[in-house]
Amino acid sequence: MPSASSKQAAQTPNTETSDAVRQVIAVVEKKIRNLEKRKVKLDGYKVMVTEGQELNKDQLDALAKYDEVASNVEFAKELIKHFQTILQDAVKQQKRTAKREHIQRLEAQQKSVRSILELQDLLDQLGNENVRNDFIKGDHGAVTLSEEQLNHLDEFYKLVSPTREEGKQEGSKQKYVTE
């Protein structure tokens, strides 16, 4: 089915983009959790220092980076907000694109049905005796057609026009028309 495969191919880039943004958000959220754990640990070191406990060199080095960790947490939270906005915009755009494509498919189907109905109406008009005579004589701006050509058009009309009869004849008509 060509339309199904082209539809899937058209939606793949937007889906991949939003999936990539989701993955980035997940990574940054994990980084925030880790930084917040580290900050809590450093808060504990601060409490220990205010209580007069002595810290070893590694703990003091870590405590010296407290402001850096706090600013990294805030920066990562801002990044998350921006990434979520980007994701929401991408999802909205994907929905708009899907809606636009759906409307275009409906319009194409309507155009096709309209063309079929116009053709059927034209063929119906050829069944009118006055119209047939105009084509045979070439009157009223009609192109001159032979009786044989009109008979061919009548046969074509029988093949493309639906009938209410059910049975083998209808199936063979459809098979002949599609060939």
Same-domain status, 20 and 87:
yes
At what angle are helices 57-64 and 66-125 packed, to 10 degrees? 50
| Domain boundaries, position 139 | 129-178
CA pair distance 164, 111, nearest whole angstrom: 25
What pLDDT, on the 0 to 100 scale, is given for residue 137?
Answer: 85
37 plus 106 within the same structural domain? yes
The CA distance from 167 to 162, in Å, is: 13
Mean pLDDT, consecutive 10-residue stretches, the chain (179 aa), reads 46 69 92 95 92 91 93 94 92 94 97 90 84 85 86 85 63 54
Q: Where are the beta strands (DSSP E) in 62-171?
A: none
From 110, 142, 166, give the residue that closes a domain: 110
Residue at 116 is within a domain? no
Asked if 98 and 159 sit in the same domain, the reply is no
Residues 33-50 have pLDDT tens digits of: 999 999 999 999 999 999
- Helix then strand count (H, E) for the chain reads 6, 0
Predicted pLDDT at 143 = 86
Domain count, the chain: 2
What tokens were used for 69? 């960790």
Which pLDDT belongs to residue 82?
93
